[in-house]
């Protein structure tokens, strides 16, 4: 029998997840269906309970429900617990299991698809919202020397303190407002702010890129000012958008559900050509 999965969000029409999971299923010969479902803003739990009643096996969760999903779970993985948000639900034995695959998606995209090492590299994470929370643990586990800059500095400090207290990384996270990092250059600069949506640029300059740095924008399918800044630099900065992260987080969710890891480069390629 076909196992049913879905992605829940609002809005959801733009989601590429059904295409990605269909490609994974074809590639790995898994008999699954995967659809995009919109939940009313105040109706996430009702929607999830409805899917469970219809024998769905799991669901991905996207904006704005990742925090609602976190609250709804009976059990959480450590990475979901630390992220404070859930993007992958598994329905099993009358329980809801929550996971967060966004962070491993980012790290896998950088280290495997782009073939860039993170260990011992200086990394500036810009932003302290949901996406930033999800990527700190995997970045630390990959050996990053991490700094976090945010428009509201208290949020950056709070995020850093959460992980510094746990002594997860080899190095303390340095956090604060953008100005604090004005004269510092980084091997990897990650844009986890939502500035791509409003055509803004976080308060950084080309000086923040080290020679041959990676400029990683979590945003995809859109030209951003961050991309333009990276291209303006004369330090051989490599720019990439967040499409690889999107496909990698989906691959990790697929693994959580099906215990099989699909190959991602052909799927990233396929989505790029759409």
In the bound complex, what is the minimum distance in angstroms from residue 268's beta carbon to ligand NDP?
11
| Of residues 185 and 194, the one with the C-beta less far from ligand NDP | 194
- Strand-pairing partners, residue 60, are 7, 88
User: CA–CA distance from 140 to each of 34, 84, 119, 160, 218 (Å)?
Assistant: 32, 17, 9, 11, 18
Buried b / exposed e over 172-206, threshold 16 CB at 10 Å, is: ebbbbbbeebeeebbbbbbbbbebbeeeebbebee
Q: Which residue's CB comes closest to ligand NDP? A: 129
**Quick one: 15 or 150, whose CB is closer to ligand NDP?**
150
Which residues are the active-site residues?
Answer: 66
CB of 186 vs ligand NDP, minimal distance in Å: 17
Please report, as ranges, the residues that interact with ligand NDP according to CB under 6 A.
Answer: 102, 105, 127-132, 150-152, 155, 192-197, 200, 202, 218-220, 242, 245-246, 249
Give the span between the Cα atoms of 107 and 151, in whole angstroms: 24
State the greatest distance between any 2 C-alpha atoms of the chain, in Å, as a whole number.
59
Residue 103: CB minimum distance to ligand NDP, A: 10
Q: Which two tokens stand for residue 16?
A: 């590429």
Least distance CB 135 / ligand NDP (angstroms):
9
- Supply angle C-alpha 43, 44, 48, rounded to 5: 120
């Amino acid at each position: 029998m076909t196992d049913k999965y879905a992605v829940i969000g609002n809005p959801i029409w733009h989601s590429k997840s059904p295409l990605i999971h269909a490609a994974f299923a074809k590639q790995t010969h898994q008999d699954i269906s995967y659809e995009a479902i919109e939940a009313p803003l105040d109706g996430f739990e009702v929607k999830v309970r409805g899917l469970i009643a219809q024998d769905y096996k799991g669901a991905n969760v996207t904006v704005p429900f990742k925090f609602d999903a976190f609250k709804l779970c009976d059990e959480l993985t450590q990475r979901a617990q630390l992220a404070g948000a859930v993007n992958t639900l598994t329905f099993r034995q009358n329980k809801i299991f929550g996971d967060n695959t966004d962070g491993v998606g980012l790290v896998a995209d950088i280290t495997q698809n782009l073939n860039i090492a993170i260990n011992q590299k200086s990394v500036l994470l810009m932003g302290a919202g949901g996406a930033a929370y999800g990527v700190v643990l995997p970045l630390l586990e990959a050996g990053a020397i991490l700094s976090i800059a945010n428009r509201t500095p208290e949020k950056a400090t709070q995020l850093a303190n959460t992980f510094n207290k746990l002594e997860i990384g080899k190095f303390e996270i340095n956090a604060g407002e953008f100005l604090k990092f004005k004269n510092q250059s980084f091997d990897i600069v990650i844009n986890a702010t939502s500035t791509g949506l409003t055509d803004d640029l976080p308060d950084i300059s080309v000086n923040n890129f080290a020679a041959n740095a990676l400029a990683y924008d979590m945003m995809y399918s859109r030209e951003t000012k961050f991309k333009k800044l990276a291209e303006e630099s004369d330090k051989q900065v490599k720019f990439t958008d967040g499409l690889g992260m999107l496909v990698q987080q989906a691959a990790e969710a697929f693994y959580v559900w099906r215990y099989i890891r699909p190959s991602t480069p052909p799927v990233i390629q396929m989505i790029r050509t759409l």
